[in-house]
Amino acid sequence: MSSPTRSSEEINAKARRAGIASFIGTTIEWYDFYIYGTAAALVFGEIFFSDTLPNGVGTLLAFITLWAGFLARPIGGIIFGHLGDRIGRKNTLVITLMMMGVATVGIGLLPTYAQVGMWAPIGLVTLRVIQGIAVGGEWGGAVLIASENAPKGKSILYSAFAQQGSPAGNLLATIAFFLLSSMPTPSFLLYGWRIPFLVSAGLVILGMIIRLKLEESDEMKAVLARKKVVKLPLAEVLRKHWVLVLLGAGALPLAQVTYFKNTFALSWATKELGYDRGTFLAAIAIALVVQFIVQPFGAVLVSKIDMRKAMCLMVIPEFVLMPAMFFAIRTGNFTIAVVAMCLATIPHSMFYGAIAGVLARAFPANIRYTGLSTAYQLCSLVVGGGTPVLAQWMLNTSGNIVGVAIVSGLYALVSLICTLLLLRRTGYNASELSTAEQADYDELELENALADTANSPKSEAGEIPTGRATV
């Protein structure tokens, strides 16, 4: 909710600046995070672990290091959620971007297992954990800097700016490795894979310049001005809003299916199904372009109609489309695989475009960063990083893709149920204040009325003059 003292032109201009800055910053952060997943699928199992391991084990271990970043994300959500709710959103976003850049460049400079033995995977996991802490603190702040600066009734639409950073960053990561896919394998293993990580240094500098020019949201300014910051936001969230956190985390598995498609499937297709590395990266890139195009329409749909109906329209098709994608890839036909990947992308990308704004509406402004981050990173901890690990383990033990396909469909079912339960608590109309937002508004109005009462001149009878509100 933007400040009523601003003109509509000022509100819209500030909202656009915040949205664009949020998009660019999250694009850079997600690029750094996603190049790790691509490299884990293609190369980390071979260069950071012993070559004496059985077939598939090196890849499984690489995916476990990928998971380490997800295990660390709740730590980032707690630390930076705390800071974001106490000192503001802007400063935390500057810190998280710097951390991500340092960790990513560090990975690009790491020696391999052949050079330093076990120190190689130890260094890899350490830097991946730093990445996880950074992105764990990034997401909630980026969503809020966009949604809290939005014009009235458009917070879900503007939160989609931050969400666009995920497919954009993923696409940049995929393109980076696609451009390197024509390198001879020995050169790619020796130094080619490092290039996308080292390029991150320039991107982070660009992001820092943009973020340092950001303006804090009016809602957070109001919290700071009224001294309504909470001493321990996490304790407040867990004491009063734990049900919302659990429902929010339960709503998000569908946002994690991208790791079935872009990480696990990349490894499976190139190492077991005979797809060329560049060919399958091209398929992923095409699906990511589709995601980037259709994702904002999820926020538009949720903003236009009853949110329960919108969620059902978006999620139910994924029950079939995501499982079908694996069987399409298994045909070995590039065209069939691409079409199936693009179709499976549409439901979960539209859902992803809308869900951040839906979750942001669930929590009061003074603990919103912590509540939003805790819900998202709890899901990432349990589901996100574990997705390629689970899929690879199921493939290794069963030798077929059926179990993986079934589990991918279950992600959508869990998300739909929890989202509908969450909406029962927050409201079904995006153009109206949510339950938490209405409570914030009522509290502010009450404080203003009390202030007016205290400052009003009194009549001789000691009564407040006619026309003043009384409480």
Per-residue pLDDT for 253 more than 90?
yes
pLDDT digits (tens, 9 = 90+) for 88-104: 788 888 899 999 999 99
Residue 464 within a domain = no
pLDDT band of 119, cuts 50, 70, 90: very high
pLDDT digits (tens, 9 = 90+) for 13-71: 878 888 888 898 889 888 988 898 888 888 888 889 887 877 778 888 888 888 888 88
Instruction: Select from 275, 135, 286 the least CA-distant residue to 267.
Output: 275
The Cα–Cα gap between 188 and 182 comes to: 9
Instruction: Select from 51, 258, 64 the least CA-distant residue to 167.
Output: 258
Residues 6+ apart with CB under 8 A from 462: none
**Which pTM value belongs to this model?**
0.79
State residue 458's pLDDT score. Answer: 54
Instruction: Select from 81, 442, 379 the least CA-distant residue to 235.
Output: 81
DSSP string of 300-357, one letter each residue? HHHHHS-HHHHHHHHHTTHHHHHHHHHHHHHT--HHHHHHHHHHHHHHHHHHHHHHHH
Residue 469 within a domain = no
Contact of 376 with 139, CB cutoff 8 Å: yes
pLDDT digits (tens, 9 = 90+) for 403-460: 999 999 999 999 999 999 999 999 998 888 888 878 877 776 776 677 677 776 654 4
- For residue 54, give its domain range: 13-219+232-447
Residue 376 within a domain = yes
Inter-helix orientation angle 119-147/57-87, to 10°: 40
Residue 384 within a domain = yes
Instruction: Select from 179, 174, 191, 175 the least CA-distant residue to 47.
Output: 191
The Cα–Cα gap between 154 and 147 comes to: 8
Q: What residue has token string 């939160």?
A: 159
Contact of 251 with 418, CB cutoff 8 Å: yes
State residue 138's pLDDT score. Answer: 85
State residue 262's pLDDT score. Answer: 80
What's the length of the chain? 471
Residue 461 within a domain = no
Average pLDDT over residues 58-87: 85
Tell me how far CA of residue 297 lies from CA of 166, 210, 309, in angstroms: 15, 26, 14
The Cα–Cα gap between 271 and 278 comes to: 13
Per-residue pLDDT for 365 more than 80?
yes
pLDDT digits (tens, 9 = 90+) for 184-206: 888 888 899 999 999 999 988 88
pLDDT digits (tens, 9 = 90+) for 327-351: 999 999 999 999 999 999 999 999 9
Residue 7 within a domain = no
pLDDT band of 325, cuts 50, 70, 90: very high
What is the H or E stretch that residue 11 is in? helix 8-39
Percent of the chain with pLDDT over 90: 37
Residue 6 within a domain = no
The Cα–Cα gap between 152 and 471 comes to: 27
The Cα–Cα gap between 355 and 419 comes to: 9
Count of domains in the chain?
1
pLDDT band of 208, cuts 50, 70, 90: confident
Contact of 63 with 263, CB cutoff 8 Å: yes
pLDDT band of 464, cuts 50, 70, 90: very low
Task: Give the CATH number, domain containing residue 106.
Answer: 1.20.1250.20
Q: Sign of the CA dihedral 392, 397, 398, 403?
A: negative
Percent of the chain with pLDDT over 70: 93
State residue 441's pLDDT score. Answer: 74
pLDDT digits (tens, 9 = 90+) for 281-305: 899 999 999 999 999 999 999 999 9
Residue 391 within a domain = yes
